Copies of this chain bind each other. A is one copy, B any other.
Amino acid sequence: MALIVEKFGGSSLANIDKLRNAASIVAADYKKENQLVVVVSAQGDSTDHLVEQAEAIGRRISPREMDVLLSTGEQASMALMAMMLMSMGVPAVSLCGWQAGIRTDALHSKARIEYIDTRRICAELAQDRVVVVAGFQGISPSGDITTIGRGGSDTTAVALAAVLEADVCRIYTDVDGVYSADPRVVQNAVRHYEIDYDEMLELASQGAQVLHNRSVEMAKRFGVQLEVKSSFINGVGTRVREVVMEKRSVSGVARDQNVALVTLEGLQDQPGNIWRLFSGLTEQKINVDIILQPPAVGQQTSITFSVPRESLDHAVEMLTEHRGDLMYESISVDDRVCKISIVGAGMASDYGVASRMFESLYQAGVNVRCVTTSEIKISVIVSEEDSDRAFIAVHDAFF
């Protein structure tokens, strides 16, 4: 008998037929005498509908009340999943975040899970019930409903798998595994049967949308065995494991379109100036990714860096306000760019990788705007109009 945590995303629960399909996967695993904890997201676009209603009220919505509103999506979903399981003869019980003991801090809309009090879940499992838990939500120390932000339900599933010491945590989604690139764009993308945490983490961080990096990080930290599977196609999916014996140089190509470039020209080249610039951005919680600084010409230099697109206005506002302190002449922005990254744990020992990537971009006539590298990743910024071409060219150079 194994203890399995299975998570179903909104697209796997979007209507009654899909819900039935997801429940039949759970039922089959239950009938193999496994203990099952099922984590569900809100159905399809039900969250969007709730957000719309809130936005009709005003722009500055209380994050506490937004959490109360949004958490109803997963709550409805979990009740329907439990009903569906029972209609298949599988005993089931649904639990909200506060009932499942998911204790978080009080940071509404992006709370962190502090610990999980598993007593209720264990009591229900001991009664041979499938325990259906609402993803994405928890309860704060003051007894308020919280939501845990991006990648929420994946993170709930991995956290439950960690504290319950589950044998495996299966993430069911609408793709049948982790690919070398987004198969909707790159036709000959290949599916990985196995991938290790670090590679998955870089792929997730660089824009692959299968798993959120927060849940992969947690899985790595607690040694949770992850599987990414399709809820529609019966197959093995992708296993995310501690160590994959034979490393590929490059395990995937990811694209991130949520990128904008900011360039400051005529910046005074003097000590402390760059530090002031980036510490100012950090204080405003603006996440700077790639930084490019060409050698100074005389007393002046320029600097280019990337920020998430939604932070662009905020960054420009802050930079304009402090133009005097930061001592620069002009500011320009470009939000018609994207980031293409290659990721692979074996990359560090394979010197040919970078040159192969740049050659493929050159052959495809793509101009590279910025570059950044880590031990297991190389990222380039290219213009949006070159995006598809660059994505496919880089992928085809390695797969």
Contact = CB atoms under 8 A, between A and B. Distances in A.
Interface of A: 16, 19, 50, 53-54, 56-58, 60-62, 64-66, 68-69, 71-72, 75-76, 78-80, 82-84, 86-87, 93-94, 96, 98-99, 120, 143-145
Contacts of A69: 75-76, 79-80, 83
A143 B83 contact: no
Given A50-B76, A61-B83, A72-B75, 10 more contacts: A53-B76, A54-B83, A62-B82, A66-B79, A69-B75, A69-B76, A69-B83, A72-B72, A75-B75, A120-B143
Nearest to A88: B58
Nearest to A54: B83
Contact of A143 (B16, B80, B99): B99
B65 A16 contact: no
Contacts of A145: 96
A16 B57 contact: yes
Nearest to A87: B58
**Nearest 4 A-B pairs (CB), nearest first?**
A69-B79, A72-B72, A68-B79, A58-B87
A53 B77 CA distance: 10
A147 B83 CA distance: 17
A214 to B, nearest CB: 25
Contact of A16 (B56, B66, B84, B96): B56
A55 B98 CA distance: 27
15 contacts: A16-B56, A53-B80, A54-B79, A57-B80, A58-B87, A62-B82, A62-B83, A62-B86, A64-B93, A65-B79, A65-B82, A66-B83, A69-B83, A96-B145, A98-B98
A58 B144 CA distance: 33
A50 B99 CA distance: 22
Contacts of A80: 53-54, 57, 69
A58 B99 CA distance: 26
Contacts of A79: 54, 65-66, 68-69, 72
Contacts of A60: 87
Contacts of A71: 75
B62 A68 contact: no
A84 to B, nearest CB: 5
- In this complex, the member of A53, A93, A120 whose beta carbon has the largest number of chain B beta carbons within 10 angstroms is A53
A56 to B, nearest CB: 5
A97 to B, nearest CB: 12
Given A54-B80, A75-B72, A76-B72, A65 B87 contact: no
A78 B86 CA distance: 30
